[in-house]
């Protein structure tokens, strides 16, 4: 069952967004905390990466303020663990891909790339949300990865939700600016929330296993859901960096075809900005 719990993004002020530099936006978009928390805590956020039976790796954000730093560990099958401390590579989210770099404790160059998308490991039945590439002193290892956090985001189930998203976008006749959240309503019914160009939020409910529209209605602030807008999703395109106070991450399939992009609030305005 596609149940989910969602992390809220922590950011800088809306006023600062229009003048902030790329590093500032990068910090805000990576600085996660539960939405009920009064202070940012990244200690429970990171990624598990692997190629089943070949290697396994972990990326864990340190609980720090300012520029995020990640603890990295890589263990090849039958080999010794390699550890490093990594930073976010700039330009941030260039071409919509997450990149990190640093050095191992032995001085080896380490680079990690994470491309959002439905990655399937032939050696595992698990569904992954990232394609992973790790370079250690020029030797590249590829595999899959998934986000690790205290809570779970709706976007981790994007591929399951795409039929409902496409159905609702078609019903909305091109008026949608983005999708703000998708969620299961009951067996065979899915809820898709869309935001139009005026900022008005709409709820589209599908039926018959996402093959038909059951209802479409406008929403107000009282209808806001926890996790709405974290992230938003734009189908088939990658908007410009910082457009609409979001930073965008490309979502691609195994052949590199663009599925769409996730937008993360870099201005701290929160999900209520999507409610008209």
Residue spans of the domains in the chain: they are 46-148, 154-274
Q: How far apart are CA 119 and CA 110, in angstroms?
A: 22
First to last CA, the chain: 31
- The torsion angles phi and psi of 187, rounded to 5 degrees, stand at -55, 120
Q: Tell me the per-residue pLDDT of 190-206, one tens digit each, with 9 for 90 and over.
A: 999 999 999 999 999 99
Q: What is the mean pLDDT of the chain?
A: 82
Identify the band that residue 162 occupies on the pLDDT scale cut at 50, 70 and 90: very high
Q: Tell me the per-residue pLDDT of 255-276, one tens digit each, with 9 for 90 and over.
A: 999 999 999 988 875 543 333 3
Q: Is the predicted pLDDT of residue 16 greater than 80, yes or no?
A: no
Q: How far apart are CA 230 and CA 89, in angstroms?
A: 23
Does the CA dihedral 139-126-154-256 come out positive or negative?
positive
Q: Is the predicted pLDDT of residue 178 greater than 70, yes or no?
A: yes
Residue 159 carries which DSSP code? H
Predicted pLDDT of residue 39: 33
Predicted pLDDT of residue 188: 82
Q: How far apart are CA 71 and CA 248, in angstroms?
A: 24
Identify which of 237, 245, 239, 175 has the alpha carbon closest to the alpha carbon of residue 204: 175
Q: How far apart are CA 271 and CA 221, in angstroms?
A: 10
**Where does residue 174 fall: left (phi above 0), alpha (psi -120 to 50 degrees), or beta otherwise?**
left
132 contacts: CB under 8 Å, gap ≥ 6: 47, 49, 57, 112, 113, 114, 115, 119, 142, 143, 144, 145
Q: Is the predicted pLDDT of residue 82 greater than 60, yes or no?
A: yes
| Buried-exposed string 69-90: b where 16+ CB fall within 10 A, e elsewhere | bbebebeeeeeeebebebebbe
């Amino acid at each position: 069952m596609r149940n989910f719990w969602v992390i809220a993004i922590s950011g800088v002020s809306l006023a600062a967004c229009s003048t902030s530099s790329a590093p500032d936006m990068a910090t805000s978009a990576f600085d996660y905390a539960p939405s009920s928390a009064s202070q940012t805590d990244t200690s429970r956020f990171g990624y598990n990466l692997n190629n089943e039976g070949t290697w396994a790796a972990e990326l864990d954000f340190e609980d720090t303020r300012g520029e995020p730093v990640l603890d990295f560990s890589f263990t090849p099958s039958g080999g010794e663990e390699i550890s490093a401390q990594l930073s976010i590579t700039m330009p941030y989210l260039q071409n919509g891909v997450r990149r990190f770099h640093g050095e191992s404790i032995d001085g080896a160059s380490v680079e990690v790339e994470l491309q959002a998308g439905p990655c399937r490991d032939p050696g595992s039945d698990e569904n992954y949300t990232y394609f992973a590439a790790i370079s250690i002193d020029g030797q590249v290892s590829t595999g899959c990865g998934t986000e690790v956090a205290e809570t779970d985001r709706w976007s981790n189930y994007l591929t399951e939700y795409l039929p409902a998203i496409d159905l609702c976008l078609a019903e909305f006749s091109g008026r949608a600016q983005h999708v703000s959240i998708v969620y299961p309503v009951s067996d065979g019914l899915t809820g898709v929330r869309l935001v139009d160009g005026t900022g008005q939020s709409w709820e589209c409910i599908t039926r018959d296993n996402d093959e038909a529209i059951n209802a479409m209605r406008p929403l107000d602030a009282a209808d806001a859901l926890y996790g709405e807008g974290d992230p938003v999703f734009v189908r088939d395109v990658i908007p410009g960096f910082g457009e609409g106070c979001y930073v965008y991450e490309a979502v691609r399939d195994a052949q590199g075809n663009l599925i769409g992009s996730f937008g993360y609030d870099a201005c701290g305005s929160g999900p209520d900005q999507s409610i008209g």
